[in-house]
Amino acid sequence: MKTRLFWVRHGPTHARGLVGWADLPADLSDTARVARLDAHLPRQAMLVSSDLSRAAATADALAKGRTRLPNDPALRELHFGDWDLKAPEDIDDQARYQAFWDHPGEVRPPSGETWAELGARVDAATDALIAAHPGANLVIVAHLGVILTQVQRALALTATEAFDHSIAALSVTELHHTSSGWHVAGIDHAP
């Protein structure tokens, strides 16, 4: 049985710094682009999003005709802790900041979480969705880091290799899950 997951990155925030758990709104003013995204996604689908407003509002814009599931805080972006909303050059501990990117999974932002912790959190949420809706189309509106954890998982990449993939706002990354494992149907598709 194949479960198809359509990971959608929320609309742009136009923020200049790191954006993790800060609850910024999405800019959904490009209605033609949102309409193309909506038309690209399967109509018969379960729709879920992170509970952060930029993802929830994007999901709400795609909800017409789809079964809307409750927002899931486990699908939040990486928790940047004290670095949230700071530009990289404004972070006091530059050595720690550089180590965070050089050794993903091992270094934690102050009061935040590691890449490995994000991956474990999102893996568990994804597995729960697949178990609850086997064989369904799942449209999941989330964040850059969240989607990259699932690309990393599906392709058996290191975190550093996963970071090589870009995930644009309002793009679709399609992953399929079957009893034999993962298949990547497309990454960062812009309808």
pLDDT at position 48: 98
Residue 148, domain extent:
3-189
pLDDT at position 106: 86
User: CB under 8 Å, gap of 24 or more: what pairs does 148-157 form?
Assistant: 149/115, 149/118, 149/119, 149/122, 149/123, 150/5, 150/7, 150/122, 150/123, 150/126, 150/175, 151/175, 151/184, 151/187, 152/119, 153/119, 153/123, 153/182, 154/182, 154/183, 154/184, 155/182, 155/184
Residue 128 has pLDDT above 90, yes or no: yes
Q: How confident is the prediction for the chain on average, in pLDDT? A: 96
* pLDDT tens column, 14-54: 998 999 999 999 999 999 999 999 999 999 999 999 999 99
CATH number at 13 reads 3.40.50.1240
Q: What is the pTM of this model?
A: 0.96
How many separate domains does the chain show? 1
Residue 92 has pLDDT above 90, yes or no: yes
* pLDDT tens column, 137-177: 999 999 999 999 999 999 999 999 999 999 999 999 999 99
pLDDT at position 104: 84
pLDDT at position 142: 98
Task: Give mean pLDDT, residues 98-122.
Answer: 94
